[in-house]
Amino acid sequence: MQIMKDFSNLEKKIGVHFKNKDLLKQAFVHRSYINENPNFEPSHNERLEFLGDAVLELVVTENLYQNYPNPEGELTNWRASLVNSQMLAKLAKKLALEDYLYLSRGEAKDKNSKARAYILANCFEALIGSIYLDQGYQTAKKFIAKYLLPELTEILAKQLYLDPKSKFQEIAQDKLGITPTYQVLKETGPDHAKKFKVGVYLDSNLIAAGLGTSKQEAQVKAAAIALKKKNWE
């Protein structure tokens, strides 16, 4: 059974009134819905997401280049923090984009998973793609400037552009003159599905331990926990 959704409130909220309503609708169609409803029009949003991703990256890059004289490496890290899936999913939730998604019955039930966060992030990019096609670059740029670019203030203030390992190392070196080290404490599971417990140390002191399906993932989690324990967030 196909679903009919009214996008007029969303258009009012974002201040963009589409000439081609199907472009707006398509931004919210997940591939899983098409699998269950093969005759549904328009198709899924993956091509719009591909386009929106490029527009988003250009707008953010342009803004950073014009407003910050920092080196390329720093600007790259800042941009990555702005356009990652976690940030885009957060903004999608703020705009209640979830209410407009076309999902399969299975996907519709799975509300709080990582998969749903990715779907929301991809939808946000697809929406940018649809705005670009319907209204042009300047309107897409205004949308990104209104909803995404203000997040940079918090990213810079809290150094969120640093991953937990980098951040823990930077603060430990600054405060204590010590470079953290990591050690595998435990390995479990068969070779194709191993789990690792990794500890992060300052000198010989174990500060925290993290679990992951790879050593790298466990190290990142250990560093994140260590940041909290040391009140270095």
Task: Give the residue numbers annotated as catalytic, written as ranges.
Answer: 53, 125
Question: HEC states along the chain?
Answer: CCCCCCCHHHHHHHCCCCCCHHHHHHCCECHHHHHHCCCCCCCCCHHHHHHHHHHHHHHHHHHHHHHCCCCHHHHHHHHHHHHCHHHHHHHHHHCCHHHHCECCHHHHHCCCCHHHHHHHHHHHHHHHHHHHHHHCHHHHHHHHHHHCHHHHHHHHHCCCCCCHHHHHHHHHHHHHCCCCEEEEEEEECCHHHCEEEEEEEECCEEEEEEEECCHHHHHHHHHHHHHHHCCCC
